[in-house]
Structure formats: structure tokens, C-alpha cells
């Protein structure tokens, strides 16, 4: 399967050029998940009509920014991409202050040897930025995945 990943990622990337925000978001998040979790060869920057992928080396993250579509529908596309992964992402027990967004959520992989998080910020309808999703591997599992530590404020404000 690992040898097939580069080909599968390359097949998913053309979805970014289709112009449909939900499909672009789903494909882009799928590519980011494959890049961070499986080491798939995803370029450092890819820009579609409504979604963009940016990868950073330190720390190793992959961020999808979506600028088109209805926020709830785009979020649903992102959730579809998470649901397809064997890591079985689920919402963290601790919630985040949404600030200027409609919601900010963290999704955590099942407890295992490796710990992955996906941070999703969904905009309110009518905003130019629809959604951002950042995939990262943590050195150790964040306690907030399993324990409610009250509403958290992000370090970087809106």
C-alpha cells in the first residue's frame, strides 16, 4: 500500500482544479493527511480555484485554506476526508473559543504509537475565508483530546 500512496495522492490533487469548493477541500485535506501520516510526496504549495495547500517543514504541518463555498458544506467535505482514514479521528474533549469563526475544532486520532491532530476553523457564512484545516503530528498525545480542560483560547488571535 505504501508504494501506491504517491500515485493515489497525485490522483487526488487534480480535484483541486475542478472548481467545486467541497470537492477541492476534501481532496486537499486527504492529500495533507497522506503527506503528514503516510509521508506521501505532496508539494509544498498547491493552489486550486477555491482551496490551497501549504506545507511547512518545521514543525511538519500541512494546511488547507478554502476561500469558496458554503462553510457548513465545506466542513462536511473535510469531515468526509477524516472519516476515510484508519486513524479514526474524533473531536477533542476540550473545546476552543471560536473567536471570529463560527467554530474552531480539534480532531484527534485514536491513541496509538503516533498522535495526529487536525485543527479545523470554519468561518461564518459570507466571510471571504471559508475554512482552514491544519494536519500535524504531535510528539505525544495532547491531554485535551481526552479531558475537558475548559474552553481554550488560541495563541494566535483573529
Which pLDDT belongs to residue 17?
42
- Which string of b and e fits 43-71 if b means at least 16 CB within 10 Å? eeebebebbbbbbeeeeebbbbbbbbbeb
Which pLDDT belongs to residue 11?
43
Which pLDDT belongs to residue 100?
93
Is there a contact between 67 and 129 (Cβ–Cβ < 8 Å)? yes
C-alpha torsion sign, points 124, 129, 130, 134: negative
Q: What angle do CA 37, 42, 47 make, to 5 degrees?
A: 125
Q: Which residue has the higher pLDDT, 96 or 3?
A: 96
Question: Beta-strand (E) ranges in 15-84?
Answer: 45-47, 51-56, 61-66
Parse the chain into domains and list their residue ranges: 5-145
Share of the chain above pLDDT 90, in %: 81
First to last CA, the chain: 40
Dump pLDDT digits (tens) for 56-87. Answer: 988 899 999 999 999 999 999 999 999 999 99
Is there a contact between 109 and 101 (Cβ–Cβ < 8 Å)? no
SS3 of residue 30 by DSSP: helix
Dump pLDDT digits (tens) for 88-145. Answer: 999 999 999 999 999 999 999 999 889 999 999 999 999 999 999 999 999 999 999 9
Is there a contact between 92 and 145 (Cβ–Cβ < 8 Å)? yes
Amino acid at each position: 500500500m505504501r508504494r501506491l500512496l504517491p500515485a493515489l495522492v497525485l490522483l487526488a490533487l487534480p480535484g483541486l482544479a475542478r472548481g467545486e469548493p467541497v470537492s477541492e477541500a476534501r481532496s486537499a485535506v486527504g492529500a495533507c493527511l497522506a503527506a503528514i501520516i503516510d509521508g506521501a510526496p505532496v508539494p509544498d504549495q498547491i493552489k486550486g480555484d477555491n482551496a490551497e495547500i501549504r506545507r511547512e517543514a518545521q514543525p511538519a504541518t500541512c494546511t488547507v485554506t478554502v476561500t469558496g463555498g458554503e462553510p457548513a458544506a465545506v466542513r462536511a467535505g473535510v469531515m468526509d476526508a477524516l472519516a476515510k482514514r484508519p486513524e479514526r479521528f474524533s473531536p477533542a474533549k476540550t473545546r476552543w473559543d471560536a473567536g471570529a469563526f463560527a467554530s474552531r475544532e480539534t480532531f484527534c486520532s485514536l491513541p496509538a504509537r503516533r498522535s495526529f491532530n487536525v485543527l479545523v476553523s470554519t468561518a461564518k457564512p459570507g466571510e471571504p475565508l471559508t475554512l482552514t484545516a491544519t494536519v500535524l503530528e504531535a510528539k505525544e498525545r495532547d491531554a485535551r483530546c481526552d479531558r475537558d480542560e475548559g474552553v481554550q483560547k488560541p495563541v494566535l488571535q483573529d
